[in-house]
């Protein structure tokens, strides 16, 4: 099974507001950057979409170390996901994304690692730049916010 490192981050300009996510996949020293965004979203949705998009980009089952600064993502998977599923997603925010993430966690062998955000971790900083650039690309031009 291939061993892949994935780093992800999400960003939002306002919460809700224009948001972006960034991901970097590393396999045998080769890096691939991914990013995207939505016009009206939340930071937590972007954190989830970063992880989902990165895992969806893998063409075959892999052993993955996924590093994120999102406690929502890491704790959601490691502590809360089974309970949320058992109670049929009642009172859970972003159930559509959690349900999209679940089969990816089953397909791949995923270890989640939390790192403190904006603390100098090189890949986390790069993912933050990808995410904020994607969010900024979706912001209305200055002076046109109210249109």
Contact 44, 29 (CB under 8 A): no
User: Of 14, 39, 118, 136, which is the active-site residue?
Assistant: 118
Helices and strands in the chain, H and E counts: 5, 5
Task: Dig out the tokens for 142 from the structure.
Answer: 């200055």
Catalytic residue status for 83: no
As a whole number of angstroms, the distance between CA 79 and CA 86 comes to: 13
Catalytic residue status for 136: no
- Digitized pLDDT (tens) for each residue of the chain, 147 residues in all: 999 999 999 999 999 999 999 999 999 999 999 999 999 999 999 999 999 999 999 999 999 999 999 999 999 999 999 999 999 999 999 999 999 999 999 999 999 999 999 899 999 999 999 999 999 999 877 665 554
| CATH code for residues 2-137 | 3.30.420.10
User: Of 37, 69, 76, 108, which is the active-site residue?
Assistant: 69
Catalytic residue status for 17: no
User: Of 20, 36, 38, 47, which is the active-site residue?
Assistant: 47
In the chain, beta strands by DSSP E: 2-12, 17-27, 30-41, 62-68, 109-114
């Amino acid at each position: 099974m291939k061993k892949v490192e994935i780093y992800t981050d999400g960003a939002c300009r306002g919460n809700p507001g224009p948001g972006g996510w960034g991901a970097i996949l590393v396999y045998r020293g080769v890096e691939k950057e991914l990013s995207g965004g939505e016009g009206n979203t939340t930071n937590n949705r972007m954190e989830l979409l970063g992880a989902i998009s990165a895992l969806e980009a893998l063409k075959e089952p892999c052993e993955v170390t996924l590093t994120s600064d999102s406690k929502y993502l890491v704790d959601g998977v490691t502590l809360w996901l089974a309970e949320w599923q058992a109670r049929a997603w009642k009172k859970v925010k972003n159930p559509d994304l959690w349900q999209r993430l679940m089969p990816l966690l089953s397909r791949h062998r995923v270890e989640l690692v939390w790192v403190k955000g904006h603390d100098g971790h090189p890949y986390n900083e790069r993912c933050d730049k990808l995410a904020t650039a994607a969010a900024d690309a979706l912001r209305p031009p200055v002076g046109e916010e109210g249109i």
